[in-house]
Every structure is written in C-alpha cells, then in structure tokens.
Amino acid sequence: QQQVKQSPQSLIVQKGGISIINCAYENTAFDYFPWYQQFPGKGPALLIAIRPDVSEKKEGRFTISFNKSAKQFSLHIMDSQPGDSATYFCAASITGNTPLVFGKGTRLSVIA
Amino acid sequence: NAGVTQTPKFQVLKTGQSMTLQCAQDMNHNSMYWYRQDPGMGLRLIYYSASEGTTDKGEVPNGYNVSRLNKREFSLRLESAAPSQTSVYFCASSAVGISYGYTFGSGTRLTVV
C-alpha cells in the first residue's frame, strides 16, 4: 500500500510560471511533511517542510499548502526558473516514531 | 566537507556475487538509513538504524543485510546479487530522530548483470 501518492509524474513549465506538485496521504497519524529536491547525480536535499498545525509555509519562491481534512499537501514554485529543473519528492512521517515515507517523485522541467 | 560519504559511487556485479556498500557520516548523527531509488518508484526504505546498536527493516529488506558498525558507519550488504537489485542506493543520516532532518549521500549506482 502506497502511503504517500504524488502527482504528476512529470511536469513541464515555462520560465516564470508556477509549478504545482501534489501529494496525498492515508495515515492520519503523519505529522511531518517535507519536500526534497534532487538534481541528477546527487542525493535528495531538504527543500521545505510543514507540520499540520499550519495551512501554509513559504520560503522564498517555494510554498507548501496543507489541507488536513483532505489529507493533501502541495508544493508551489513561483516564478519557476530553469535552475529549478529537478526531481521533487514529497514525504511524510510520524515524529519520533517512523522513518520518512516518500512519494514516487515528480520530474520538473522549466523551459525558457 | 561534512556530510554523508558513500563508497563506491559505481559498481557492476555479476548475478550471485556479493558486495558491501559503505556509508559514513561525520555529523555525529544518531540515525542512519538505506534507501533505493528506481525509476518511477521513488525512494524506498531498505533498512534503518535509529541509534548505534539497533537496526530495523524497512519496506524492501529482502536480499539485504546491514551492520551499524559504530555511530559513524552503516553498511549495506548484498549476499547474492540479483538483477532486481540494480538500482541507485542512497544512505542518509539524521540528528534529531528517525522522522526528519535527513542528510543524503550522493548515491551508489549498482548494476547487476
């Protein structure tokens, strides 16, 4: 059973546009939701994370929106740039209890 | 540079051969992990070690063994490699607990022929 479902698998966005990646989860005990960014040939790196006590968290051009009732969270990349082209993974865990469970990833391509 | 170091970076094995993937971190992190990454499958947890002296199975442990040698080092062993184990393997570590704050290594690309 896939605990975190991520969509779309791939995404092409024009430079300056908004990239949106969505994730849904089943386990209502999850209380930590990070997003990781991975460039080719590198390991994933933490981009931004949120806990369910807030509905939105913004860091620069990156925003996480969280909908607890729908069990969904999403990553918005504003003013997308070619340098944002990477694979993005959402993840979830239960604090102090379980390791991170990752979605299957979204390959983002930002074209000029 | 501080971080997670994985060796080797690339390896080709024949079916049935064995090998050990090495991972070391110099951040004094308590918890360490092994994930595999396959196209379209995301990152799947193989084994993890919440603290020195403990190891636990993840989602896909079959065909693998691990050893938490000390606080710094966490190795992954393939006793009899199979083509299905062709993958990119990532080691990660975390300081605060097993739930967050992961730092990943740069990966080992393994091909089993």
Q: At residue B82, does pLDDT exceed 70?
A: yes
Mean pLDDT of B55-79: 96
**Does A10 reach chain B within 8 Å, measured CB to CB?**
no
Q: At residue A1, does pLDDT exceed 70?
A: no
CB contact under 8 A, A6 and B106: no
Q: What are phi and psi of B83, to 5 degrees?
A: -55, -30
- Say what percent of chain B tops pLDDT 90: 86
- Whether A11 contacts A87, CB under 8 Å: no
Task: Compute CA distances A6 → A20, A31, A67, B12, B48, whole Å.
Answer: 11, 17, 15, 31, 23
- Say what percent of chain B tops pLDDT 70: 98
3-class SS at B29?
Answer: coil
Nearest CA in chain B to A9: B40
**Does B4 reach chain A within 8 Å, measured CB to CB?**
yes
Nearest CA in chain B to A88: B42
Distance between terminal CA atoms of chain B?
34
Q: Write out pLDDT tens, residues A41-93.
A: 999 999 999 999 999 999 999 999 999 999 999 999 999 999 999 999 999 99
Give B-chain residues touching A102 at CB under 8 angstroms. 35, 42-44
Q: At residue B101, does pLDDT exceed 90?
A: no
Q: At residue B2, does pLDDT exceed 80?
A: no
Alpha helices, DSSP H, located in B1-110? none
Mean pLDDT over the full length of chain B = 94
- How confident is residue B1, by pLDDT bands cut at 50, 70 and 90? low
Helix, strand, coil percent values for chain A (each to nearest 5): 5, 55, 45
Q: At residue B40, does pLDDT exceed 90?
A: no
Give B-chain residues touching A103 at CB under 8 angstroms. 42
**Does B106 reach chain A within 8 Å, measured CB to CB?**
yes
Please give, rounded to a whole number of angstroms, the shortest distance from the CA of A53 to a CA of chain B: 17
